[in-house]
């Protein structure tokens, strides 16, 4: 989802969690003491998200994988930061920050669906922060405006880059042994003029 900066007063992680857990309708990310409200997404973003969750769920279940996908309501902790990835995959037992079971600590794969308003953040500061998660093996960026899936695979301290930009291609998510066809990711998605702005 799209992050919009809120108040400039710095908060502590504890203050953020107290506020976030009492917030009924709006989710917030927390970065460097500031909170960012998460606003709604447009059709292509939502359709891609649904497609990814459906395909990942079926394929991981079909191969009896110990891994499971979660959609964008699962908060993830990165040191003193808190974010809501569009999709996260964990393997084995989920690890949580505390007994509220609402902040995941051990993602293996994180996926972000790009928009004009979040792309530079997802590619820059957010990716840099994600690299601090020791369990993270792959970071995947999915365009909502064209056939384009970018994959970063961690090999020791090096992130290998792969680009998939044709409908007939498939993305092999190495760390969870799952393959997704771009035609499945973009099922029922139309690239129309006017959909390329906003979220």
**Tokens representing residue 129 in the block:** 């922060």
Better-scored residue on pLDDT, 64 or 59 = 59
At 38 the pLDDT is 87
Please compute the mean of the pLDDT values over residues 141-159 and round it to a whole number.
95
Better-scored residue on pLDDT, 4 or 62 = 62
Nearest to 51 by CA among 144, 126, 152, 163: 144
Structural domains of the chain sorted by starting position, each given as residue range(s) with its CATH number in brackets:
41-185 (3.90.1570.10)
User: Rounded distance, CA 196 to CA 86, Å?
Assistant: 18
**Tokens representing residue 29 in the block:** 């990310």
Nearest to 139 by CA among 169, 113, 120, 118: 113
Q: Is the pLDDT of residue 193 over 80?
A: no
At 2 the pLDDT is 58
User: Rounded distance, CA 69 to CA 55, Å?
Assistant: 10
- Among 26-35, 134-143, 144-153, the minimum mean pLDDT is found in 26-35
The pLDDT tens digits for 74-116 are: 999 999 899 999 999 999 999 999 999 999 999 999 999 998 8
At 194 the pLDDT is 53
Please compute the mean of the pLDDT values over residues 61-72 and round it to a whole number.
92
The residues with which 150 forms a beta bridge, in sequence order, are 141, 163
Q: What is the mean pLDDT of the chain?
A: 91
Please compute the mean of the pLDDT values over residues 159-188 and round it to a whole number.
97
Q: Is the pLDDT of residue 119 over 60?
A: yes
pTM to 2 decimal places: 0.89
């Amino acid at each position: 989802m799209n992050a919009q900066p809120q108040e400039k007063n710095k908060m502590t992680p504890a203050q953020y969690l107290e506020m976030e857990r009492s917030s009924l309708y709006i989710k917030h990310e927390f970065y460097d003491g500031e909170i960012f409200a998460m606003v709604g997404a447009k059709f292509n973003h939502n359709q891609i998200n649904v497609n990814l969750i459906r395909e990942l769920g079926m394929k991981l279940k079909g191969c009896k994988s110990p891994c499971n996908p979660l959609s964008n309501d699962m908060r993830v902790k990165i040191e003193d930061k808190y974010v809501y990835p569009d999709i996260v995959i964990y393997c084995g037992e989920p690890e949580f920050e505390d007994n509220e079971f609402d902040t995941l600590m051990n993602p293996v794969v994180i996926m972000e669906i790009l928009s004009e308003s979040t792309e530079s953040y997802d590619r820059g500061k957010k990716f840099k922060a994600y690299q601090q998660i020791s369990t993270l093996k792959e970071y995947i960026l999915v365009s909502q405006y064209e056939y384009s899936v970018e994959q970063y695979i961690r090999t020791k301290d090096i992130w290998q880059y792969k680009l998939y930009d044709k409908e007939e291609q498939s993305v092999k998510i190495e760390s969870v042994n799952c393959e997704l066809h771009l035609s499945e990711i973009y099922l029922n998605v139309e690239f129309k003029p006017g959909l390329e702005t906003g979220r």
